[in-house]
Amino acid sequence: MSVDIAVIDYGMGNLRSVSKAIEHVAPAASVVVTSDPAVIAAAGRVVFPGQGAAPDCMREIDARGLRQVIVDAARSKPFLGICMGMQVLFDHSEEGDTACLGILPGTVQRFPHEAMHDEAGNKLKVPHMGWNNVHQAIPHPLWVGIEEGARFYFVHSYFVQPASPEVIAGFSHYPFPFTCAVATANIFAVQFHPEKSQNDGLTLLGNFVTWNPGASETACDMSGAACA
């Protein structure tokens, strides 16, 4: 039997929070935490979480034979990357000089030590840990019901630098602007933790479980030039 939502388990971190938060917003859906490529391939939508270090993440993905099914899912169905699950979608991470999945062009870099101070000269700590404002760079079905500048919970020391600015869906400041959400046709990926960001996080997850990426394109086709 195929499942509605597969949460990819590759041995990196607390997946219970992610699955519980999704169950909370989609009580009727079947949600499984799985490392079975067949289950992931058959799922209607995929959540790709992750914590820890990039080299370990990539090693565990390959050790479980998950690389291809992740790449396929990211190209074909509603796909939500969270934290490390966002970073490894890109080409390369500075963390451990790691080649990543290369689904999105760009790199992952550490918050540079020399830049980590606020306007008053106070030191800013790394990891960037806590609740920061998320600015919505584009309108998107996953932002619906979430105020511009709403706070989400972050904990990370590296951030993504997409090669194509058009994928940037959201950004935050620490102290400089950095990309904290990206979107393509069927991928939405975030640096923050929606599963730990209380009501706004649950809203985002709720938007994901009902997101129909094809629908907006169809709407564009039907309305013709207005979407060009």
Residues that bind other proteins (CB under 8 A): 12-14, 16-17, 20-21, 24, 51-53, 113, 116, 122-133, 151, 153-157, 173-174, 193, 195-198, 201-202
Active site residue 193: yes
**123: β partners:** 117
Active site residue 156: no
Smaller CB separation from other proteins, 73 or 83: 83
Pair of tokens at residue 94: 């500075």
Which one from 128, 156, 180, 195 is the annotated catalytic residue?
195
Given a contact cutoff of 8 angstroms between Cβ atoms, the answer to whether 182 and 162 are in contact is: yes
The structure tokens 């309108």 sit at 139
Shortest Cβ distance from residue 228 to other proteins (Å)? Answer: 37
Smaller CB separation from other proteins, 77 or 131: 131
Which one from 147, 173, 193, 217 is the annotated catalytic residue?
193
Smaller CB separation from other proteins, 158 or 188: 158
Evaluated on CA atoms 142, 205, 159, 133, the torsion sign reads positive
Active site residue 217: no
Shortest Cβ distance from residue 15 to other proteins (Å)? Answer: 9
Smaller CB separation from other proteins, 71 or 116: 116
Pair of tokens at residue 32: 């499984």
CA 85 to chain centre: 6
Element (H, E) at 60: helix 54-63
How far is it, in rounded angstroms, from Cα 112 to Cα 96?
15
Pair of tokens at residue 116: 């980590």
Shortest Cβ distance from residue 187 to other proteins (Å)? Answer: 23
Pair of tokens at residue 6: 């597969």
Smaller CB separation from other proteins, 172 or 186: 172
Which amino acid is residue 196, in one-letter code? Answer: K
CA atoms within 13 A on the CB side of 66: 25
CA atoms within 13 A on the CB side of 208: 35
Which one from 24, 57, 83, 128 is the annotated catalytic residue?
83
Shortest Cβ distance from residue 52 to other proteins (Å)? Answer: 4
Shortest Cβ distance from residue 192 to other proteins (Å)? Answer: 11
Given a contact cutoff of 8 angstroms between Cβ atoms, the answer to whether 8 and 70 are in contact is: yes
Q: Which residues are catalytic?
A: 83, 193, 195
